[in-house]
């Protein structure tokens, strides 16, 4: 891996985590609720979505990321709420995430449900009260974020994923699940960063395509890692998808087929990125990073 992009990712992670850890210092949130929200929000993770948002913004030769930080934090809060609710007994019933107890195991189910609700609700307030954005910018970002994470976005993906567990999906159906479940938020990251970086309409159109492929790439790589990954680095057991007879790219296409699919989509993503005609290479480097990561 390229040292500089690794460094770039690490710096982005630190900036985002500093923002996240400062969110609830001066608030009037009941102690236990705040502890539950922060337990999951500050539990580490790759911070890929906010880093993508920063990288998309930086791609437009913007150097001061202050303007993006509340939106980046809001995006991570929505991702975090979705993990908390996804882990609940009624959903995936997971006891561990990233090597630590899931929220409802650390606290209790009721608190976990409410912590998720609180993070989701508060994400919109965070953007609405951002002093560095104009009212028009706030409305654009809130519209895009709520659409990406709502019943036609991420929540649709969760439902399609649940329904898909009862049958074997076609490649097209599997792609639809991932487009919604993870793709929509990844797409928001790219669009929000580019919009704040003053991208043109044409650039936004090409970057939406790029984001679509990137979202799929992310998921194909996740599926491949579940087959060949290192449990230690992943922080979760491998082989669980096959055990659960889940529809995955390796199960549908074979391991080599999944790898070929990854390469083909990487090509398509690169082409969309070239057509967007932006000068900085952060997004290209992150694309390669996605394709080569080991956790």
**What are the C-alpha distances in Å from 214 to residues 131, 187, 210, 270?**
31, 8, 6, 10
Which of 63-71, 154-162, 183-191, 236-244 is the region at the interface with a copy of itself (rule: CB under 8 A)?
A: 154-162
Give the one residue of 2, 32, 231, 240 binding a copy of itself; rule: CB under 8 A: 32
> Least distance to a copy of itself from the beta carbon of 148, Å?
9
Burial class (CB in 10 A: 0-12, 13-18, 19+), 24: middle
Which residues, other chains included, contact 122 with Cβ-Cβ below 8 Å and sequence gap of 6+?
77
Between 33 and 270, CB nearer to a copy of itself: 33
Task: With both helix axes pointing from N to C terminus, report the angle between 109-128 and 135-149 in degrees, rounded to the nearest 10.
Answer: 150
- Binding segment for a copy of itself (CB under 8 A), chosen from 145-153, 191-199, 206-214, 286-294, is 145-153
Q: How many residues bind a copy of itself, per CB under 8 A?
A: 49
270 and 288 Cβ atoms separated by less than 8 Å: no
Identify which of residues 143 and 260 has a Cβ nearer to a copy of itself in the complex.
143
Q: Could you say whether residue 125 binds a copy of itself (CB under 8 A)? A: yes
User: Does 136 interact with a copy of itself (rule: CB under 8 A)?
Assistant: yes
* C-beta of 58 vs 180, nearer to a copy of itself: 180
3-state secondary structure of 220: helix
183 contacts a copy of itself (rule: CB under 8 A): no
State how far the Cα of 67 lies from the Cα of 71, in Å rounded to an integer: 8
DSSP state of 98: T
**Assign residue 171 a region: left if phi > 0, alpha if psi is -120 to 50, beta otherwise?**
alpha
Rounded to 5 degrees, what are φ and ψ at 96? Answer: -130, 145
Looking at the DSSP assignment, which residues form a beta bridge with residue 101? 96
The reply to whether 95 sits near a copy of itself by the rule CB under 8 A is no
Residue with Cβ nearer a copy of itself (111 or 251): 111
Identified binder of a copy of itself from the candidate list 18, 121, 202, 244, rule CB under 8 A: 121
The residue range among 110-118, 199-207, 259-267, 273-281 that interacts with a copy of itself, by the rule CB under 8 A, is 110-118
1 binds a copy of itself (CB under 8 A): no
Total length of the chain: 295
CB under 8 A, 24+ apart: contacts of 239-245:
244/165
Least Å distance between CB 140 and a copy of itself? Answer: 9
Q: Contact positions toward a copy of itself, by CB under 8 A?
A: 27-30, 32-34, 37, 81, 85, 88, 90-91, 108-111, 113-114, 116-118, 120-122, 124-125, 128-129, 134-136, 138-139, 142-143, 146-147, 149-152, 155-156, 158-160, 162-163
């Amino acid at each position: 891996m390229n040292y500089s992009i690794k460094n770039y990712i690490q710096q982005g992670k630190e900036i985002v985590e500093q923002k996240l850890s400062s969110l609830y210092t001066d608030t009037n949130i009941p102690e236990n609720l705040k502890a539950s929200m922060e337990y999951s929000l500050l539990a580490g993770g790759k911070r890929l979505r906010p880093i993508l948002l920063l990288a998309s913004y930086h791609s437009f030769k913007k150097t001061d990321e202050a303007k993006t930080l509340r939106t980046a934090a809001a995006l991570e809060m929505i991702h975090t709420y979705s993990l908390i609710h996804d882990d609940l007994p009624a959903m995936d019933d997971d006891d561990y995430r990233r090597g630590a107890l899931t929220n409802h195991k650390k606290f209790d189910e009721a608190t976990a449900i409410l912590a998720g609700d609180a993070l989701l609700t508060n994400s919109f307030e965070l953007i609405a009260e951002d002093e560095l954005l104009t009212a028009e910018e706030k409305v654009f970002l809130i519209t895009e974020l709520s659409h990406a994470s709502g019943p036609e976005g991420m929540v649709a993906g969760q439902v399609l994923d649940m329904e898909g567990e009862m049958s074997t999906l076609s490649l097209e159906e599997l792609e639809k699940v991932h487009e919604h479940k993870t793709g929509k938020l990844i797409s928001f990251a790219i669009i929000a960063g580019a919009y704040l970086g003053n991208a043109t309409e044409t650039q936004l159109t090409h970057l939406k395509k790029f984001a679509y492929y990137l979202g799929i790439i992310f998921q194909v790589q996740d599926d491949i890692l579940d087959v060949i990954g290192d449990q230690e680095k992943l922080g979760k057991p491998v082989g669980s998808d096959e055990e659960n007879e889940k529809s995955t790219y390796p199960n549908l296409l074979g391991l080599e087929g999944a790898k070929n699919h990854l390469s083909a989509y990487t090509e398509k993503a690169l082409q969309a990125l070239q057509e967007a005609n932006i000068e900085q290479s952060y997004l290209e480097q992150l694309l390669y990073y996605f394709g080569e990561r080991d956790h």
